[in-house]
Structures are given as C-alpha cells and as structure tokens.
Structure 1
Amino acid sequence: MNAGRLLIVDDERVALRNLEHILKKAGHEVTATTSGSNALVLLQKLPFDLVLTDLKMEKMDGMQVLRRSRELAPDTEVIMITGYATLDSAVEAMKEGAFHYIAKPYRIEEVRQVVIEALEKVQIKRENRALREQLDGFQGRVKIITQDPAMLKLLEMARQIGPTGCNVLITGESGTGKELFARYLHEHGGRPDGPFVAVNCGAFNEELLANELFGNEKGAFTGAIGKPGLIETANGGTLCLDEVTEMPTAMQVKLLRVIQERELLRLGGTQPVKVDVRIVAATNRDMVELVKNGRFRQDLYFRLNVVNLHIPPLSARCDDIPLLAYHFLNKCSSLMRKAVTAIDPQVLDLIKVYDFPGNVRELENIIERGVALCTSDTIEIALLPDSLRALALHSPRRKEGKIPTLDEQEKDYIRWVLKETNGNQTLGAQILGIDRVSLWRKLKRYNLEKG
C-alpha cells in the first residue's frame, strides 16, 4: 500500500497544517481536523486507513480518540503524536492498541516511515480478511482450494464423471494432491457414503501387496488368519491406487482380471468373490513411456485411463498460493493452538515466485514451520527456510514502500554475486556475463569497490 487515506487530529492549527503538508506531499489522501469529537464523526462517515492524533487536546484528548477509533474502525491503525512524551503515556497508548508513539519535535522522515509501516499492517489485515472470506466459500467434505482456471476445469470434469463410476487415472508431480482429487471424485460419485480406501503400491513388496489387496484364506500361508483385502474393503466405493506404476507385473495381471471380471480370488482361495469397486489410479510418472518400455501393461493402462485428470504443478498456478497459504495457516495455528493469523505481504510475494519442487506438500511444510516458530501474530521472512530466505536476497521487493529501480536491483544483485563468490571479481564477472572491466566500472558507479 503506497498511498493511504489518513485522518490527522491536532488542536494546534500550525502543527496540523505542517503535518498535513508533509503527508500530502508523500502522496497520501489527507483529511485534517482540530477537534477530537469531529474526528470521530468523520470516522463514522468515511473509511480511513490511518489516524494520526495529538495526545494533549482540549475536550477530547488523543487517548479518547484512540479508544473510540478502535471501537468504530478496528482495522484503522492509530499513531499518537505528542509534545509531552512520557514513558507512562507511551505504555498506555500501546496497551490501548496504538501502532506507534511519536514525540515532538519529530523528524519528517521518521513520520513518513512510520506511516508506511502502519499502512503495510493495514494491508496485511485486509488481505488476510479477503483470503479468509474466499476460503469460507469452499464447501463440501473434501475441499480443494483453488481459483486457478485450469484447476477449476478439472474439478468441473471430476464432478461430471463422478456419478458414472468409470475408472480414472490421476497424473501429476509429487505433492500436487492426487489422493485429495481421488477423494473429491469419490465425494461427487454415485456412492459418496461408500468406503474410500487408499493404498500406496510402492510401499510394499510383491507378496505383501498381494496380501493387502486381495486378502487371504485361513492357512494360505504361515500366520494367515483369513481376512478380506483392501479391494473387498472398498466394495461399493472407491479404491485409490497411489504410485500404481510401482505395481509388479504379476500383480498388474491380477488387477486387470478384477477390473474385467469384477471378481477376485483371495490368496489360498478357490471361490471367487464378487466386487463392485471404482478404481482411481495415481502416478507422478510418464505412463505412456512406461508402456512403451514394457514396464507397465498396455491393456491395464487402457482400463485405468478411461479418463485422465492431470493436476498442474503449484508453480503453474501461483494465484492459488496465497489462498493455500492461508488455508494451511488456519489449519496449523488451530492444531498448535497459536494465535498466528497473518502472513507478511513480503512472504506472499516471495512464495508466489518460488518454483515449489515439492508442490502443495512443500507449501504446507513451510507454513507449518512458520507457525511453529512464530512468536507474534504474523509469519515473516525470517521464519522461512534458508532456501527461501536466500531467494529473498535477490528477488525484487519493495523498499520503504517503493518499487526498487533497475539500478537498485542491479546493485543488490552484484553485491549478492560477489558475496557468493567470496569477492572473486573474475568469477563474479563470468557469472554476471560481463567482462571484468565492465564489472569494475559498475562497482565504481555503485560505490561497491570496498565491499
């Protein structure tokens, strides 16, 4: 938030006009009044981002203005300004919720900077509320948080094919939420109250996977007590086969028979068991390539791939990142019983340009870490993992509320490259793609020779 709507309250007209001039020159929309009671009337009529009020005034002092402002406009920040600064009054103002306490005579730059910081806090609160309101709009037992057009199209397709009961192949990188999509399909299928059973095919060897999927008859092997497998357990519902490409070839043949005949044989069994199961398979691998290489049966591939839902990586839907970040913030702060309610805008800007090799799972991990380490109500850059903090060093970001110039970005980047190369200018010039003489000129231009 570069410019804001400000309300200034001071019964000294000269001081009022001076501060009004300073803040208007800084680009803010300013309303000024000499009366505390009139300030409250204005607060009821107009939306303000920030109130700057003198502490000592006749009839209604700044502390009364502060208290009533918090009641009338909770999102509006208040800065106290006084020529009678004492420790007690400062402590009282901060306890009542003042954003800052400035003593007269103040430095112009100090006021400008405090106003910028207060407006940034207002922006955080508004973005926080907007994202929470958006999250409240997602309904259903299985919530997939997205506003991305490609994802919304996938969800529409899932709802469309849900009641048909056809088998579905879900593809996408690790951590994109393939099992969650499988649950969404089940939720919107013809039998949402039926069982949903998920199994990771890569977590078992061939013998254990056969036992898990098909079950066994008593005495089929040492220790076999006779139990139904996961396919039977999913009867009347959905079986989700995650990492289906890790299934051994012999097991693929057995699964193909289940799909074609709608029946199975338990290990050690002689009587087929009828099953009615929808199969949703998921993988992060290229199944077409695996079929070509003979590592996955083509006939099973066609049986599973009646409809393919390909989930895009998180980096391809950056507009979802703030929504998901706040979703995980709500979840983690509730589980940890911590009053962490906001994410610093600089953090949101940074994670929107991060490539997220771990996708949604990695984002959840980052937010969980932030909540665990947070000692205030806001996750800030200092709480991010080292890899993300390193990215922050050379990512474009605002400075004192202003977008940096190209020269400022170049200066920061050159400084960072030389730091990474331990001051080796020859190597630094190679990384920058310029000759050493050009680098020397830039160092001189930006006064970085000594650094």
Structure 2
Amino acid sequence: MTLPIMPEVYKQLLDAVDAGIHVIDMEGHSILYNQKMSEIEDMNKEEVLRKNIMDIFLFQSEEESRLIQALRHGRFHKNAKQTYFNFKGQEITTINDTFPLVYEGKRIGAVEIARDITKLERLSRENAREKRAAGFTFDQIIGKSPVLREVIHHAERAARTSSSVLIYGETGTGKELFAQSIHNASVRAAGPFVSQNCAALPESLIEGILFGSVKGAFTGASNHAGLFEQAEGGTLLLDEINSLSAPLQAKLLRVIQEKSVRRIGDVKDRPVDVRLIAVMNEDPAAAIQENRLREDLYYRLSVVSIIVPPLRQRKQDIPILTAHFIEKYNERFQLGVPGVSDQVKTIFSSYEWPGNVRELEHLIEGAMNLIYRDETIEYSHLPLHIRTKFSGGAPALPAPEPEAAVITPKPLKTYLEEVEKEYIETMLTRNNQNITRTAAELGVSRQSLQYRIRRLRSE
C-alpha cells in the first residue's frame, strides 16, 4: 500500500527532525514552524504562525533578520552563527542555513534551518568571566575559633606547593574562599584563577568546556581552548567534581597524571601546567561508596585534603561574622544599623545554620531590607522559618525598669509598630498614596515599603 503524502504526514515528519525549521511567505508571515524550532526559541507555535517575523523577534530593523534578507534580496547563509532575541527578551544563539524558496523561477518565501548552541555560547561567556584574578586571601577569612584557625594554617602550608587539593565542606561554608586564598598565597598567584561549577554544565557540553575542541569536532564547534588551557600557569578550581560522569572522571584523571590535554576532535596532546583544586559538598567516602566519585581520582586529588567546618561547629565566630555582614550592608544600603538585639543574638547562637555562613549573610541582608532608618535588627526582622522555629522558645528580653511617668503598659514591639504604622499612613496621605514618592521621602526601597504596608495593615 502506498503511503499517502498529506499535510498531516509532512507535519509529523518536520516535527520529528532534530533541527529547527522556520518558513515565512512573501509578506514575512510565518507559515511553518516545527517543534524543534519551538524548543530552541522557547515560543509556542500559536505565538509564531501567521504573524510577521518582525513582530516575533526583537530586531532593530529588517537588516538584522537573515530570513528577511533571504526573502527580500535572495541572500544565502550557510553554517552562519546568529544571536538574536525573541519577543520575550530571551537571547538565542544558533548555527543557521538560511536561503530563499523558489518555485517556477519565482521567489515565494524563505526558510531557516537552525541548530541550537545557546547553552554553549552562554557557558563560553561564563567561563571567560570566570577567568579572573582570585579576590580572597587568608587574612580575609573571618573567624577566630580554634577549629577554623587550624584549617587556615593547614591551607597556608598547602599553598607552598603545587600539589592537587581537595576541599570538602557543606554548602555555604566558604570553600571557594579557601581555594582563592591558596592560589593567592602560592607561586602561581600571578597566573589565572579559573573557576567552574561542574554541576552547572550539561553533559553534552561539559567535555568541550573542560578540555577544549577543534573546528568541526561537533555541530557549532570551533578552535576553543578548554579550562585547563585557560588556566595555564595558574589554578583551576572545579566545584562539585562528583557530578561528572565516570568516563569524564577517567579522562580528568589522565589529564592530571600526564599533565597534558587533548581537545575534542584533535589528534595531538597539549602540555598543561595547572594546579587543580577540587571542591565537594558531600563526604568523599560516601561519594565513592555510592559510585559518584572514582576512588583512583579521589586519591589523585586528595594529596592535600581540607575540611571546612560548618558554622554550627564554630558558633563563637557568629558575632564576628554578624558584625562584618552588618557593616557590609550598611555601606551598600546607606544605613546605620548598629547591630542585633540580645534576643536575636540568643537565637543566632541556638540555631543550627544548615546553610552555614552564606545563610547568615543572606539573613542579615534580608533583615536590613526591612530596617527603618537605623534600627537594631530585631526578632520581627528575621525570616519566617526562623521566627516560626523560635516562636515558643526564644528567650525573652529582661523586663524593662518601670518608667517614672504614668503610662499605659504595652509591649515595646506593639508600641513601635503602632508608631511606624501611624507615620507611614501619614506619609502616604501626604503623597496621595503614591508608593514611589513615599518610599523616597522615607529613605527606603519601594519593595521594603510595600512589605511594611502589607505587614502593618494585616495586623
């Protein structure tokens, strides 16, 4: 039986092709847009079909659209890279074949066949930004607890050599600060410091990013130096190295042992002089047991092992860290917050800090977004999950001494909230309920003012 070639069959075939296909008619309206192109450009077919191409993409003029150039002037583009934006403002980078459609000697439209390299392009830019001078040194690591000082001394000794280093610690403990400090204290300080989170790389692209590629190795590939070559003479930090696949871990082990790298599609090895620092946020022993880390790679990386302690094991550093972060955000937000209340200090010392130093910094930043003028950070400024945890168990503040004047007793928090509410309502009335003008006069952000209004009016 002969298969009937019908429009629905054509549609199924086009949607099955692993390349984006976009066809426009002589008026510039989209008449064909397959499933792969919809995925590449993150637009539904309904948002594209029967609409003018200049309404779908953020081109400044028709000259920027290769489809329009093919339609108007019969221009051909073969394997040409193009970066553009859809109407949502999303950036897209593709390798395209673009050409006019001709029937019986007449131009009747234009077609573009696209292969997506958006992720590869973004990662290449991110890697270029990551190639930078390391900013931290050991004297910038904050804390005086014995457990932290011991780790710092250990890392300082490791900085004297070029051996591989494995840094293990929970999320938010400051592992990269130690990596940058080791680099800056070493003879490689003048060389590049290249940092890459391995978990952020898709499996299909990670090998090219790590080891480089030569032109033609895969679709969209060019002569590109990988991270090892980019870090020549310096330090390469690979974060979450246990997220790499077993074959890539094996290739990484070969590069470390042989001190050379072979780009994808190449036939020659290139010598590299790089110090490797690997970072993990889980126990290496557990990762090995669960086959997420090759045992031979672990032994090669852990010539020097550094375990960064969690914040719950160095709680005497919390007041120092708190003061540091308040100073940092006072400067950034143009505030004059003097510190935290006694009740908040007690909560900080009782809390387990699962997010470690990073959680403490984010908490301080969030609280200072709610501060009015130069207040002390109070219990009411803390995030909901902490207030909920300590709602019944947070130590009460000592009762204040009785006032000489006769007043109606009420909790200080209630009194301050009433004053704040009355003042905000007065300022809103003065500005005809205009949030932006009121926020400017109060010296707070619009977001902070909106939060306060919602909170105070709901009470």
TM-score category, normalised to shorter length = 0.5 to 0.7
Give deviations 1:278-305, integer Å, cap 9, x for gaps. 1111111222233234332111110001
Q: Of 266, 271, 275, which aligns to 1:278?
A: 275
CA contact (8 A) 1:238 1:280 kept: yes
Q: Of 209, 212, 215, which aligns to 2:209?
A: 212
Residues in 2 aligned to 1:248 and 1:387: alpha-carbon distance in whole angstroms: 36
SS for the counterpart of 1:342 is coil
1:183 to partner: Cα distance: 0.9
Aligned to 1:449: none
CA contact (8 A) 2:137 2:177 kept: no
1:206 to partner: Cα distance: 2.1
Aligned to 1:290: 287
Distance 1:246 1:208, change over 3 A: same
Aligned to 1:383: 381
1:401 to partner: Cα distance: 6.4
**Structure 2 counterpart of 1:158, which letter?**
A
Identity of aligned residues (%): 42
Structure 2 unmatched ranges of 5 or more: 1-135, 402-459
CA contact (8 A) 2:213 2:224 kept: yes
Normalised by the length of structure 1, the TM-score is 0.56
Residues in 2 aligned to 1:146 and 1:221: alpha-carbon distance in whole angstroms: 49
Structure 1 unmatched ranges of 5 or more: 1-138, 403-451
Aligned to 1:406: none
Residues in 2 aligned to 1:376 and 1:159: alpha-carbon distance in whole angstroms: 42
**Structure 2 counterpart of 1:387, which letter?**
H
Residues in 1 aligned to 2:242 and 2:139: alpha-carbon distance in whole angstroms: 26
SS for the counterpart of 1:319 is helix
Which has the larger helix fraction?
1
CA contact (8 A) 2:261 2:272 kept: yes
Give deviations 1:218-267, integer Å, cap 9, x for gaps. 22211112111111111111111111111111110111011101000111
Aligned to 1:83: none
Q: Of 232, 235, 238, which aligns to 2:235?
A: 238
1:333 to partner: Cα distance: 2.2
Residues in 2 aligned to 1:369 and 1:296: alpha-carbon distance in whole angstroms: 37
Give deviations 1:323-372, integer Å, cap 9, x for gaps. 11111112222222333342223212211111011111111110000111
Q: Of 343, 348, 351, which aligns to 1:351?
A: 348
1:163 to partner: Cα distance: 1.5
Normalised by the length of structure 2, the TM-score is 0.55
CA contact (8 A) 1:201 1:243 kept: yes
Give deviations 1:99-156, integer Å, cap 9, x for gaps. xxxxxxxxxxxxxxxxxxxxxxxxxxxxxxxxxxxxxxxx958711011101101101
Residues in 2 aligned to 1:321 and 1:400: alpha-carbon distance in whole angstroms: 26
Residues in 2 aligned to 1:149 and 1:141: alpha-carbon distance in whole angstroms: 15
1:387 to partner: Cα distance: 2.1
Q: Of 181, 189, 192, which aligns to 2:189?
A: 192
1:272 to partner: Cα distance: 1.1
Q: Of 168, 173, 189, which aligns to 1:171?
A: 168
**Structure 2 counterpart of 1:172, which letter?**
G
Residues in 2 aligned to 1:400 and 1:248: alpha-carbon distance in whole angstroms: 60
341-350 or 367-376, which deviates more: 341-350
Q: Of 307, 310, 316, which aligns to 1:310?
A: 307
Aligned to 2:326: 329
Distance 1:338 1:223, change over 3 A: same
Residues in 1 aligned to 2:400 and 2:276: alpha-carbon distance in whole angstroms: 53
CA contact (8 A) 2:211 2:226 kept: yes
Q: How does 1:82-97 map to 2 (within 5 A)?
A: none
